[in-house]
Structure 1
Amino acid sequence: MPTAHPSGWAHADGALRGPHWLREPADPNALVEHLWSQTATKADGVLSVGGVPLTELVREHGSPAYVLDEDDFRARAGAFRDAFADYDVFYAGKAFLCTTVARWLAEEGLSLDVCSGGELSVAERAGFPMERVGFHGNNKTVRELERAVELGVGRVIVDSFDEIARLAAITTEVGRTTGVMVRVTAGVEAHTHEYIATAHEDQKFGFSIASGDALEAVRRVHAAPGLRLLGLHSHIGSQIFDTSGFEVAARRVLALHATVSEEVGVEMPEMDLGGGFGIAYTTQDDPSDPAQLATEMTKIVEHECRALGVAEPRLSIEPGRAIVGPSMCTVYEVGTVKEVALDGGARRSYVSVDGGMSDNIRTALYDADYSATLASRSSEAAPALARVVGKHCEAGDIVVKDEFLPGDVRPGDLVAVPGTGAYCRSMASNYNHALRPPVIGVRDGKTFTVMRRETEADLFATDVGVL
């Protein structure tokens, strides 16, 4: 294992050799199909998505660009809807949300989870049915809560005693009743990065079951006239590949569910098990499909409810990454290629592209792994170890840490990175005054703009300095 280094993982012992799971491919032109959206194909080295060659897409829309496969998105949304037919499936909007996506979700029969006033505004603008919206967030403002009540949001997931008091005061003032779920921490830590493991005790989300705060929160919600107690909400983290963590969390949350029935005297009708289902970013990842997840999670809840002697609540889940993540890729143009000598005589190509950490911060933020492929031509060159890096003034501006690309990658080539639908555009920034790329939808051989490319006028729209 690489040891820690004060300058980051890229300088650690062993980092230059690449990860143990990365294998040199027999053909660096080949597409690793399970990493890409369902319509992605390669012909003569040119990658097409939704029937659109990315070479043509870039000629029309420029690069870098996020490429969103509508058919794939709808298929993944439908797969969760059908597999979890007895559940309420809330798409986690924080992964990626815009009015087009909100409209697709409404058409596919999913519900929508938002976690800010801005995301709620997107839902409103798209005409999304508000009774199918859940509102998350650990520090919702008074105005955000007022707006949620005014719009008739189906459920507010409360996260603090302050919020319970705020929401109760608002509903009393306007004379309305709002459905409420209580976010709890079950003390289960998912096997994932610290910053995306959200069910252990020492973090900002939820009420602790172990301390008794969760039960007290339930009591306060139940006692408030304008709040309708729906149930408990738990989320154990993100990029999870098995249901073992859900099993432990469900056992603890259902135990509290039973306690509420006994001590508070109320049968809560619902329970939300959260999301966090993983996707394949690289060949090391092996995610479960929705049908398998549904079978395993349903068995867990059925077993625990039988053991506790309680009726099964109506269940909800919140997939976000698992729907939109594989449905989008990012295409870049190569600007420069630099060969760097490594220990032991090995060499690595630093392939610099026209984007970077402003359009995908996850590699720097979470030490996330991504894959890449040459997208504009075929190559007869042998595979070579490469690192795809951005154009920003940061040594940590890395998009793909380790990948085998054809050894003749050169300026002007297009390189595409799969699995960029979740959190890449959502977390995109204007660092170094970069312009955020467009999101280009593809379907049946045609392109359409979902979100346009930013312009310098957008940068200056908020710059009110003297000209």
Structure 2
Amino acid sequence: MKQFLNETLHKLGTPAYVFDTDIFAERAELVKKAFGNKVQICFSIKANPFVLADLPECFSKIEVCSPGELTICEKLNADMDMVIFSGVNKTAEDVERAMQDCVGTFTAESIMHVNLINNSAVNNGKCVPVLLRLTGGSQFGMDEDELLNIIKNRDSYKGIEIVGIHYFTGTQKRKPAAIIKELDRVDAFVDMVKSDYDFELKRVEYGTGLAVDYFKDNADELEEERLNGIAERIRELGEKVELTVEMGRFFAAPCGFYFTKVIDTKTCCGVNYAIVDGGLNQLKYDGQIQGMQIPAITHLSDDDNNTDEQAWTLCGSLCTTADVLAREVKLCGLKPDDTLVFHRTGAYSAMEGMAVFLSREMPRIALYSKEKGLRIVRDFIYSDTMNTANFDL
């Protein structure tokens, strides 16, 4: 691994992200194997739209939640039949565009969404599959009464076929019991609709929110235990309905590596500080608070023989005391021009950071696989262009 990281560093420079699509594919296959052939898997591209370019064949669906994500699918010539066009904010223009793109499935989070999709479909001479989103108690989806009322009046919608429900309540669920409880609710709801309304919900799209561990040495082991803890119940529901399990973070997190160079080192008030060319505008771990948690970090140096271990506080380039990547990190012989590689940054990190803060450059991004090698898919972006007034508009 260290040799690969060194070779990658020399080709990319810093700051940079690399997403190893072999690791991404391995994680997808792990999930597919656990859930069995009857259960389809769906990648929520908000977690990492870059890996969509090398989407493994085991994925049956792609969740798209915004017009921008739909644009990404268009540019990459994604199979639009795989697209589930989701999202809480849909306009008539958004729906019409997705209709013209012939996306495979629409989700509806409100009666307004139902009407928008129905009207667009009718105007285009189509009847499109729709999943009604059942709320988990938040702003997303509809409560049972609203959803059941739509089902009861389904014949009045000539442009849509209600094929099932969408259910997702949130991310980073660590206890399998919480997910199993949700699956039980979905199962019971499907039964109730069948018995009380004589209507079969054929499909279920379910987002597990399965948790990823960022700060533990045995993260892969813990995550596989969690996966196996829900697999049996997933398989059971998959025997009953056409089940699609949607995830983003769980698929993508392990595949990412963030490279940042040490620019300066110093000691202030007894604390060793290393200033790097990246920062919190480029790096995000869910659950990280003021740098108190330490993720997996590989130290790349031209002097691996220095065994002088010290504790370092790693800080970015932003003019704020909040720009702390990690505290009390034990490193040997850390010095300027060394590089630190942060692991498990494949989900959300490159997409959620305060990327344009202070007009710093945004990281170069590359995909890697053994078959295709290292491919730069986004160069450095100098974000001053995003923060400069344009009076020619």
Partners in 2 of 1:249 and 1:268 — Cα distance? 17
Does the CA-based 8 Å contact 1:67-1:441 persist in structure 2?
Answer: yes
1:123-180 Cα distance to aligned partner (Å, 9 max, x none): 1222211111111211112111111122121111211222112111111111111211
| One-letter code aligned to 1:413 | D
Mean Cα deviation higher: 102-111 or 143-152 = 102-111
Q: Please show how residues 378-389 of structure 1 align to structure 2 within 5 Å.
A: 378-389=304-315
Change (3 A) 1:118 1:460: closer
Cross-structure match for 1:355: 278
> Structure 2: how far apart are the matches of 1:185 and 1:435?
39
Match of 2:253 among 325, 329, 352: 325
Alignment correspondent of 2:19: 68
The offset of 1:422, in angstroms, is: 0.5
Q: CA RMSD for the aligned pairs? A: 2.9
User: Among 92, 109, 114, which residue is 1:159 paired with?
Assistant: 109
Answer yes or no: is 1:396 the counterpart of 2:319: no
Contact kept in structure 2, 1:371 and 1:400, CA below 8 Å: no
User: Does the C-alpha gap of structure 1 residues 233 and 402 become closer, same or farther in structure 2, counting only changes over 3 Å?
Assistant: farther
1:433 aligns with 2:363: no
Q: Distance in 2 between matches of 1:87 and 1:222?
A: 29
Matched residue type, 1:352: I
Deviations 1:300-353 (A, max 9, x none): 256689xxxxx7111111122222211111010012223344xxxxx5433221
Alignment check: 8 A CA contact 1:441 1:448 kept: yes
Between Structure 1 and Structure 2, which shows a larger proportion of strand residues?
Answer: 2
Secondary structure of 2:380 counterpart: coil
Q: Alignment identity in percent?
A: 22
For residue 349 of structure 2, give the secondary structure of its aligned residue in structure 1.
coil
Tell me the CA shift for residue 362 of structure 1: 4.4
Counterpart for residue 165 of structure 2? 232
Please say if residues 359 and 382 of structure 2, whose CA atoms lie closer than 8 Å, have aligned partners that are also in contact.
no
Contact 1:222–1:228 under 8 Å retained in 2: no
Q: Determine helix, strand or coil for the equivalent of 2:254.
A: coil
2:30 is the alignment partner of 1:79 = yes
The number of residues matched between the two structures is 386
Name the residue aligned to 2:390: 464
Matches within 5 A, 1:51-450: 52-54=4-6, 56-84=7-35, 85-98=37-50, 101-105=51-55, 107-186=57-136, 201=137, 203-209=138-144, 212-219=145-152, 223-283=156-216, 286=219, 296-300=229-233, 312-341=240-269, 348-362=271-285, 369=293, 370-377=295-302, 378-406=304-332, 408-428=333-353, 429-444=355-370, 446-450=373-377
Cα 1:423–1:218 shift into 2, 3 Å: farther
Report if aligned partners of 2:210, 2:227 keep a CA contact under 8 Å in 1: no
Q: CA separation of 1:171/1:293 partners in 2, compared to 1, >3 Å: closer, same or farther?
A: farther
Cα offset, 1:227, TM superposition:
1.2
1:375 to partner: Cα distance: 2.1
Change in Cα spacing, 1:385 to 1:215, as seen in structure 2 (3 Å) is farther
**How far 1:270 moved relative to its partner?**
1.1
Structure whose residues are more often helix by fraction:
2
Q: Which has the larger displacement, 441-450 or 153-162?
A: 441-450
TM normalised by structure 2 equals 0.87
Structure 1 position 230, deviation (Å): 1.8
